[in-house]
């Protein structure tokens, strides 16, 4: 029986040579080609970008995808080198393509492969598109089409220049240079190699880079710019006396930021700081977007600045829709994804790092000091994310429990029940807890936030106990 290919919040991912096989990738690409053809009325004239991160077998998957698209009469625009996901997103729009196939498993461990599909607007495919692709895969399995007599000819495209040109328009590189900022950069052996650092160096900024080679094993761990994997970046920062360390994940859609003293700044805080900074430096006030699991520090800032707040389900595609409609000046998720207005409707880890450099340079203050100033404006917020594995019995019992609206939690009254995505309980004291069951594994993701560190310890313990009671 063929593997069921399901496109989740960021495409389809699976372990290479187990489910992520050439045969299954072939099925997925035929499904995408069928979808593109159905959207185009006639597939002649359709064109689709084909790109990748530096993972194992990426070149082979791209070559195979290009051949399959050609057999459907769709012109493949093939990107030769590994490329950041946001650069692919920008190139889709600039080249007026009908979508993009991106072979990446993002921040997943090195044994994983993945496919992301972007629609012609450069955004991650929405559920209606991915469900249509899944139906096309089923149709292909039942009745594979005969190859066309005339194949579309493959073309090459290099999105690097156009994407870096766009970043120069957005980021004030002169401010960074004039401040004499020293910056350390960690692309984590990933797709942003030669992007963030090259742009800064060209502008005359002092940059030192670590992990600047291709390694399909990503140093033996996930290419995730998380606190535990940024030790080498910290060492490099110390060596050069850097004011900030910036990192990107395997496909450069996520960011990691380290303050001058070596403190990792959690993404919740980075999004809030950049929201505050963009209002101050750009004068934008059109709205702010965040997932339901992201810090309410953003809610407090939105209230202070009288800016409309949009709270979305988890999945950047929902924030991307708000960016496309120019409803928000910035949108972000606690899982280290953000983008800004008039830019790609896709997570951009390269942009996030560069904007943080600009913010430190212009304000002349460390990120820690800026966060303290933010807390002084609107109060302090302490968020936490935890994962808990569930036995089948516990999962069933807990799933039933999630259907009920509790009137109190942890001895505190529930002020608001939010079901945008999972169950979020906003308590009377301003703290909150959010539960989201994974759709792919027996795990519940628990997000908690309290107004003091001590209260967070108690709240997170209560959040765990509520699962297993």
Backbone angles phi, psi at 68, to 5 degrees: -65, -45
- Is 181 exposed, middle or buried (CB count within 10 Å of its CB: 0-12, 13-18, 19+)? buried
Q: Which fold is adopted by the domain 12-158?
A: Alpha-D-Glucose-1,6-Bisphosphate; Chain A, domain 3 (3.40.120)
Specify the pLDDT at position 151: 84
Q: How far apart are CA 281 and CA 359, in angstroms?
A: 9
Backbone angles phi, psi at 24, to 5 degrees: -70, -35
How do the pLDDT tens digits run along the chain, 469 residues long? 578 898 876 789 999 999 999 999 999 999 999 999 998 765 468 999 999 999 999 999 999 999 999 999 999 999 999 999 999 999 999 999 999 999 999 999 999 999 999 999 999 998 899 999 999 999 999 988 877 767 889 999 999 999 999 999 999 999 999 999 999 999 999 999 999 999 999 999 999 999 999 999 999 999 999 999 999 999 999 999 999 999 999 999 999 999 999 999 999 999 999 999 999 999 999 999 999 999 999 999 999 999 999 999 998 989 999 999 999 999 999 999 999 999 999 999 999 999 999 999 999 999 999 999 999 999 999 999 999 999 999 999 999 999 999 999 989 999 999 999 999 999 999 999 999 998 778 999 999 999 999 999 999 999 999 999 8
Q: Which of 296, 324, 325, 293 is nearest to 309 (CA)?
A: 296
Specify the pLDDT at position 306: 98
Q: Which fold is adopted by the domain 162-378?
A: Alpha-D-Glucose-1,6-Bisphosphate; Chain A, domain 3 (3.40.120)
To the question of domain 382-468 being in CATH 3.30.310.50, the answer is yes
Q: How far apart are CA 370 and CA 269, in angstroms?
A: 10
12-158 matches 382-468 in fold = no
Specify the pLDDT at position 42: 53
Specify the pLDDT at position 1: 59
414 neighbors 407 (Cβ within 8 angstroms): yes
Q: Where are the domains of the chain?
A: 12-158, 162-378, 382-468
């Amino acid at each position: 029986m063929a593997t069921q290919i399901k496109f989740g919040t960021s495409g389809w991912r699976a372990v290479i040579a187990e489910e992520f096989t050439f045969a299954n990738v072939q099925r997925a690409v035929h499904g995408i080609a069928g979808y593109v053809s159905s959207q185009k009325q006639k597939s002649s004239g359709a064109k689709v970008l084909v790109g990748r991160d530096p993972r194992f077998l990426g070149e082979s998957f791209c070559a195979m995808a290009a051949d399959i698209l050609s057999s459907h009469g769709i012109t493949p625009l093939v990107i030769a080198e590994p490329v950041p996901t946001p650069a692919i997103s920008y190139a889709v729009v600039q080249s007026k393509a009908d979508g993009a196939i991106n072979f990446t498993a993002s921040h997943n461990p090195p044994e994983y492969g993945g496919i992301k599909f972007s629609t012609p607007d450069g955004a991650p495919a929405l559920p209606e598109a991915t469900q249509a692709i899944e139906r096309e895969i089923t149709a292909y399995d039942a009745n594979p089409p005969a190859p066309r007599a005339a194949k579309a000819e493959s073309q090459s495209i290099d999105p690097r220049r156009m994407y870096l040109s766009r970043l120069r328009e957005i980021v004030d590189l002169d401010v960074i240079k004039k401040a004499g900022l020293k910056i350390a950069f960690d692309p984590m052996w990933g797709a942003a190699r030669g992007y963030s650092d090259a742009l800064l160096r060209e502008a005359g900024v002092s940059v030192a880079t670590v992990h600047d080679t291709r390694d399909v094993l990503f140093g033996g761990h996930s290419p995730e710019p998380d606190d535990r994997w940024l030790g080498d970046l910290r060492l490099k920062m110390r060596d050069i006396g850097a004011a900030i360390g910036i990192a990107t994940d395997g496909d450069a859609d996520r960011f990691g930021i380290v303050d001058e003293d070596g403190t990792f700044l959690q993404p919740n805080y980075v999004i809030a700081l950049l929201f505050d900074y963009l209002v101050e430096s750009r004068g934008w006030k059109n709205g702010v977007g965040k997932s339901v699991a992201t810090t309410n520090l953003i809610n407090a800032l939105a209230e202070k600045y009288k800016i409309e707040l949009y709270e979305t389900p988890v999945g950047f595609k929902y924030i991307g829709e708000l960016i496309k409609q120019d409803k928000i000046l910035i949108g972000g998720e606690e899982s280290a994804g953000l983008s800004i207005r008039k830019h790609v409707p896709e997570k951009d880890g390269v942009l996030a790092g560069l904007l943080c450099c600009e913010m430190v340079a212009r304000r002349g203050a460390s990120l820690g000091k800026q966060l303290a100033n933010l807390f002084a404006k609107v109060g302090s917020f302490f968020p936490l994310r935890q994962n808990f594995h569930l036995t089948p019995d516990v999962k069933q019992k807990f799933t039933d429990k999630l259907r009920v609206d509790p009137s109190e939690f942890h001895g505190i009254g529930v002020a608001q029940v939010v079901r945008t995505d999972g169950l979020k309980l906003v308590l009377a004291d301003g703290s909150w807890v959010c539960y989201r069951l994974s759709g792919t594994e027996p795990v519940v993701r628990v997000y908690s936030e309290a107004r003091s560190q001590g209260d967070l310890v108690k709240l997170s313990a209560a959040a765990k106990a509520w699962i297993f009671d």
